[in-house]
A and B are shown apart, each in its own frame.
Chain A
Amino acid sequence: MPRSRLQRFWSGYGGYVLGFVSLVVIWHVAAVFVVGSVLFPPPVVVYRKAIVLIRNGVLFEHLSASIQRILAGFLAGSLLGIPIGLVMGSFRPARKVLEPYTEFLRFIPSVAMITVAVIWFGIGEASKIFLIIYTTIFIVILNTAAGVSAIAPNKIRAAEALGASRAQIFCHVALPATVPYILTGMRLAMANSFTTIVAAELIAANEGLGKMLWDGRMFMLVDDIFVSLVTLGLLGFVVDRMFRWSIYAFAGKYSPAT
């Protein structure tokens, strides 16, 4: 018997739907029956507030500010990190020289760099983008370099025996073999970028989801705080899904099966 579309939907996404519905239900029960305070608004209230903030454009303004910063910093950080990671993984002397940088700087959390970033670049876009680059670059470098050293030596040897030059091996073997590691690094970096951007906007920004949280605290706009929090959660979820989907769609063949 062929399965109906509904059945297929349920077996594919049923768990998700159930999970999200239960999250909202538990939130509602906790807010209305357990806590019962204006400091913990139930989902309906947050939803209504969100509609208002969407209508008057405030939410979009904050959201797009945060997204733009994340995207700019994340792309710049990845574009810098990938070649550095490839070089570090491929050439031992380069690794020796660059390791002090990566091994030292990656232990200084980007949140700790906020003050310096603001002093250097002011509270405008530059400081946020600097911080996201800082967050992204080390994760991407380390994953890329690890990917290069994980290449099976026989892949390189086979290329040598087929007449490939060193430069060709780099472009046609080392780079594609490392793609899954690069993408994993980027995915992790994206998750960390969320933490960084909120922290940075909390401290110094004129708009953004972090600024929205801060204003909420200053002016006791609890509903606004919750709208910001839910937006962050949804945004992260959607971006991560998109990342996974595009890995699957465009880079599935680069998965490390062989």
Chain B
Amino acid sequence: MALVSFHDVRKTYRSLQGVDYSAVEHFDLEIEAGEFFCLLGPSGCGKTTVLKMLAGFEAPSAGEILMDDRPVTGASRDRGVVFQGDDSLYGWLTAVENVEFGLRMRRVPRSERRRRALEFLDLVGLAGQADKYPSELSGGMKQRIQLARALVNEPKMLLMDEPFAALDAQTRALMQVELASIWQAARTTVLFITHDIDEAVTLGGRIGVMRAGPRSQVKGVVEVSLNGARSRTDDTFLRYYKQVYEMIRDEVATSIARSA
């Protein structure tokens, strides 16, 4: 039984000119408990739309989304979110105060929540930055804070929207390794959105490839059976890369042609 399932979901946006645009339509997807699912697709295909609906920030226009057999009706702390940019951090709170925000909302006693927040800051490698404000931190550090803030709240599932897209290649590679080891330890269910094939093959247990929008769907799912540390020079790694690349190539071309 899947933890999350999308059944025949549609999301239609109305533009300011009053024109309807269906980002996804007849969209089906199942995510199993404990898996690391990567959702890959060309820019503008509707990846963030899917995440926003699952998070409960936006309601589907048709169809239903179930988690634990219950329809998703709004945001909840079951589903922790790491956002695409850094605008979700609270600039008036220090790193550790940002991380303990969820615990504070649940009225966890001060010393207890501080201890747990520091523990998770340590987990993401920011133990020394606890008292800095977000404006004093680098892009990579801010994404780690977002990750720690979501993890400390112990969600059933983690939704990550291109969390490393804005980072430089070296930092991104480092963050991927760290995320992989954090996931190995925690085994939370993850929906990880990316447009980077390499990142998807590095992290994903399964990779869902989306079609170009409008009316996007999951074109196919690739199961990745690579164990332990994944190396980009490994033959199997390259085979998966190629398989995914061939699935997405036409979609990217279509996407570019349509938005031209």
Q: Which residues does A use to contact B, with CB under 8 Å?
A: 152, 154-155, 157-165, 168, 172-173, 176-177, 179, 253-258
Q: Indicate if B38 sits at the interface (CB-CB under 8 A).
A: no
Q: Indicate if B14 sits at the interface (CB-CB under 8 A).
A: no
Residues on A with beta carbons closer than 8 Å to the beta carbon of B77: 161-163
Residues on A with beta carbons closer than 8 Å to the beta carbon of B75: 157, 160-161
Known interface pairs A158-B83, A161-B77, A161-B79. Does A254 touch B92 (Cβ–Cβ under 8 Å)?
A: yes
Cβ contact within 8 Å between B88 and A177:
no
**Which single member of B76, B88, B91 contacts A163 (CB below 8 Å)?**
B76
Q: Indicate if B46 sits at the interface (CB-CB under 8 A).
A: no
**Which single member of B85, B101, B133 contacts A154 (CB below 8 Å)?**
B85
Q: State A161–B87 Cα separation when bound (angstroms).
A: 15
**Which single member of A154, A162, A254 contacts B105 (CB below 8 Å)?**
A162
4 interchain residue pairs of minimum CB distance: A163-B77, A162-B102, A160-B75, A258-B91
**Which single member of B76, B134, B153 contacts A258 (CB below 8 Å)?**
B134
Cβ contact within 8 Å between B101 and A258:
no
**Which single member of B57, B88, B153 contacts A155 (CB below 8 Å)?**
B88
Cβ contact within 8 Å between B153 and A152:
no
Residues on B with beta carbons closer than 8 Å to the beta carbon of A172: 101, 104-105
Q: State A47–B132 Cα separation when bound (angstroms).
A: 49
Cβ contact within 8 Å between B90 and A164:
no
**Which single member of B74, B89, B91, B149 contacts A160 (CB below 8 Å)?**
B74
Q: State A152–B134 Cα separation when bound (angstroms).
A: 15
Q: State A159–B90 Cα separation when bound (angstroms).
A: 10
Known interface pairs A154-B85, A155-B87. Does A161 touch B80 (Cβ–Cβ under 8 Å)?
A: yes
Cβ contact within 8 Å between B92 and A157:
no
Q: Which of B16-48 contact A (CB under 8 A)?
A: none
Q: Which residues does B use to contact A, with CB under 8 Å?
A: 55-57, 74-77, 79-81, 83, 85-92, 101-102, 104-106, 133-135, 142, 149-150, 153, 155
**Which single member of B55, B91, B102 contacts A253 (CB below 8 Å)?**
B91
9 contacts between A and B (CB under 8 A): A154-B83, A155-B89, A155-B90, A157-B55, A159-B105, A161-B150, A164-B101, A177-B90, A254-B91
Closest to A162 in B: B102
Closest to B136 in A: A257
Residues on A with beta carbons closer than 8 Å to the beta carbon of B150: 161-162
Taking chain B's interface residues, is the majority helix, strand, or loop, or is none over half, making it mixed?
loop
Q: State A173–B149 Cα separation when bound (angstroms).
A: 15
Known interface pairs A160-B56, A161-B75, A161-B80. Does A258 touch B89 (Cβ–Cβ under 8 Å)?
A: yes
Cβ contact within 8 Å between B153 and A253:
no
Cβ contact within 8 Å between B149 and A162:
yes
Residues on B with beta carbons closer than 8 Å to the beta carbon of A179: 92
Taking chain A's interface residues, is the majority helix, strand, or loop, or is none over half, making it mixed?
helix
Cβ contact within 8 Å between A168 and B105:
yes
Cβ contact within 8 Å between B105 and A157:
no
Cβ contact within 8 Å between B74 and A258:
no
Distance of B86 from chain A, by nearest CB (Å): 6
Cβ contact within 8 Å between B90 and A162:
no
Cβ contact within 8 Å between A162 and B91:
no
**Which single member of A159, A164, A253, A258 contacts B87 (CB below 8 Å)?**
A258
Residues on B with beta carbons closer than 8 Å to the beta carbon of A168: 105
Cβ contact within 8 Å between A152 and B92:
no
Distance of A147 from chain B, by nearest CB (Å): 13
Known interface pairs A253-B91, A254-B92. Does A161 touch B101 (Cβ–Cβ under 8 Å)?
A: no
Residues on A with beta carbons closer than 8 Å to the beta carbon of B134: 257-258
Residues on A with beta carbons closer than 8 Å to the beta carbon of B105: 159, 162-165, 168, 172
Closest to B135 in A: A257
Q: State A177–B86 Cα separation when bound (angstroms).
A: 15
Q: State A254–B92 Cα separation when bound (angstroms).
A: 5
Cβ contact within 8 Å between B133 and A253:
yes
Most chain B CB neighbours (cut-off 10 Å) among A152, A154, A165, A256: A154
Most chain B CB neighbours (cut-off 10 Å) among A158, A176, A177: A158
Residues on A with beta carbons closer than 8 Å to the beta carbon of B102: 162-164
Besides A155-B88, A157-B88, 10 other CB < 8 A contacts?
A152-B87, A160-B57, A161-B56, A161-B76, A162-B149, A163-B76, A163-B77, A176-B90, A254-B91, A258-B133
Distance of A144 from chain B, by nearest CB (Å): 16
Closest to B106 in A: A163
Cβ contact within 8 Å between A162 and B57:
no
Cβ contact within 8 Å between A152 and B135:
no
Residues on B with beta carbons closer than 8 Å to the beta carbon of A257: 91, 133-135
Q: State A179–B90 Cα separation when bound (angstroms).
A: 13
Closest to A155 in B: B88
Cβ contact within 8 Å between B88 and A158:
yes
Closest to A176 in B: B92
